[in-house]
Structure 1
């Protein structure tokens, strides 16, 4: 089949890779100018910042197998950092968790490797899907062209974007749009800060209590990173919702203040900026692995599906959902 996949995050790329290996002709459309979605790495003069997903764990046998192969290939590595809980500047060592993995040399590397050999068209936003006989056409908008162009026809279409964005695209199948509308995704403001000298905080990752921030990470402590004092701070879901439409400079000022309060360090950064993830993480999921209408040949996958896991919005959810949809189509 000739298949269009909308979204080049982990779920879309996992599905695309497996369909390609099955012999299907696949084109992936991505509105951003790079692949990997929320597994992104921001490159700066001070080094890279994993400003989206911070790490991932693996619990299912299927995901463990691929993570092991990615590790062997050098795409990922375990993050053997020290993790604590912070409360008003006081650090308490956090309990041991399962192995934490990160992409090397940045979280984005997993998506980059999965995309190799695929027809991925970045900088192209799909505005809507419409039926064309027993096939599908896409209305695709590119920044360099003032009007949307028609792409297709395709034998099948897969929507692999956050549920809020998927709802509009899936209106061609009202039951799917209704299902996607049930999912709640929360936003996240992320702070990136670089310091000239070491802050000597004594930990690499921290869950923060009683603060605008909920998470801190010493990005340079991850394997394969450029040395330096590079820190990530992610605001809580509640604070991000309340300040979703604030000006970035104002958000940066507030999150830097929260960083100083949480760490007890008053050293000022030589570089700082923020990024707003409007759809950062699924707070709820659909119980299914994915959505697929065999007759119409249209489906959806993403981290907003439970895919057999407890919890929501994990990288493993995205992977398992994309793999499950490819298996259903096969």
Structure 2
């Protein structure tokens, strides 16, 4: 009888959580390592005096049958809710209704709730940045495979893993894994984004909850405090800046970012924006460059290694979930 296999997963975002849940359902042991304070990745929320703020993914959609079924389970458990709103489009001159009728979901009460639900009681090492991964071939001729050894940046060593799944953003994966096929994927696949939350001292008078921005410095605007389970006073607005702007302003002063963001928001809504507080987050690896081909997931049978992420299939929360399931199924098929 084959022994229970133990898989290490680096990254506790949607891809890592999806893989962990699928593997555990099929009898695998799983341990997850996450450099941040909690699970979620780009679905994480920041704790503030005004409540948790979603600085990364603002919502997600569901098209694939597997993900639609999973979202239904989250809804039943009240871990996800539909965000009912009609988005607008800004063309640089005026706001128009968006023709898109896509159903949008958010985690409740915070965006990372679905990730936490998938992880459940999976062993999770937070604030643990893995700095080195080494595959050690077994000297025992009766064993077909070796094992992985992980070392954190503070020198802690973790041993005894039969397989390794790396779900970090691609540039970080390249620093961990010396594999030519992974290094051949263009760095331009992932693009940065400045996220800015504006807490207003005077509510803006608007029924608009979300805006797709096609001109200017921004790409997305939403009213955070209008989302399910986030109703709060004062009003809070989220601005996502374009990849082009962010790339050329990676080190911009936050107050300058605020001034630019307020100007853009005032133009769209036609009223002054009075800011009581702000929270800024620079995501170096936020969005997927549509001009770069989707690389899929990378697998190495000899080393029992998989590298995957939302970037594998073109971004989006749904694709991160599907990448994790596909990674897990690669090991399951070996049983």
Q: Is the 8 A contact 1:56 1:314 kept in 2?
A: yes
Map 1:1-330; keep pairs closer than 5 Å: 1-88=5-92, 90-133=94-137, 134-141=146-153, 147-171=154-178, 173-179=179-185, 181=186, 184-228=189-233, 229-284=235-290, 287=294, 289-306=296-313, 312-330=314-332
Distance across 1 between alignment mates of 2:256 and 2:201: 23
Which structure 2 residue ranges, 5 or more long, are not aligned?
138-145
Q: How far has the Cα of 1:291 moved from its partner?
A: 1.7
Which structure 1 residue ranges, 5 or more long, are not aligned?
142-146, 307-311
Over 3 Å counting, the alpha-carbon distance change for 1:130 and 1:183 in structure 2 is farther
Distance across 2 between alignment mates of 1:169 and 1:88: 42
Query: Which of 316-325 and 182-191 deviates more?
Result: 182-191
Over 3 Å counting, the alpha-carbon distance change for 1:5 and 1:286 in structure 2 is farther
Aligned length: 318
Q: How far has the Cα of 1:259 moved from its partner?
A: 2.2
Q: Which structure carries more strand by proportion?
A: 1
Distance across 1 between alignment mates of 2:175 and 2:245: 27
Distance across 1 between alignment mates of 2:181 and 2:151: 21
Q: How far has the Cα of 1:217 moved from its partner?
A: 0.4
Distance across 1 between alignment mates of 2:295 and 2:191: 20
TM superposition score normalised by structure 1: 0.91
Query: Which of 89-98 and 161-170 deviates more?
Result: 89-98
Q: How far has the Cα of 1:131 moved from its partner?
A: 2.0
Q: Is the 8 A contact 1:193 1:271 kept in 2?
A: yes
TM superposition score normalised by structure 2: 0.90
Q: Is the 8 A contact 1:289 1:320 kept in 2?
A: no
Query: Which of 3-12 and 108-117 deviates more?
Result: 108-117
Larger radius of gyration: 2
Q: How far has the Cα of 1:164 moved from its partner?
A: 1.2
Q: Is the 8 A contact 1:191 1:234 kept in 2?
A: yes
Q: Is the 8 A contact 2:133 2:149 kept in 1?
A: yes
Give RMSD over aligned pairs. 1.7
Aligned to 2:142: none
Distance across 1 between alignment mates of 2:255 and 2:299: 43
- Structure 1 residues 192-225: Cα deviation after superposition (integer angstroms, max 9, x where no partner): 0112332112210001232211111011211111
Distance across 2 between alignment mates of 1:257 and 1:40: 27
Q: Is the 8 A contact 1:89 1:264 kept in 2?
A: no
Secondary structure, counterpart of 2:329 in structure 1: helix
Distance across 2 between alignment mates of 1:214 and 1:53: 13
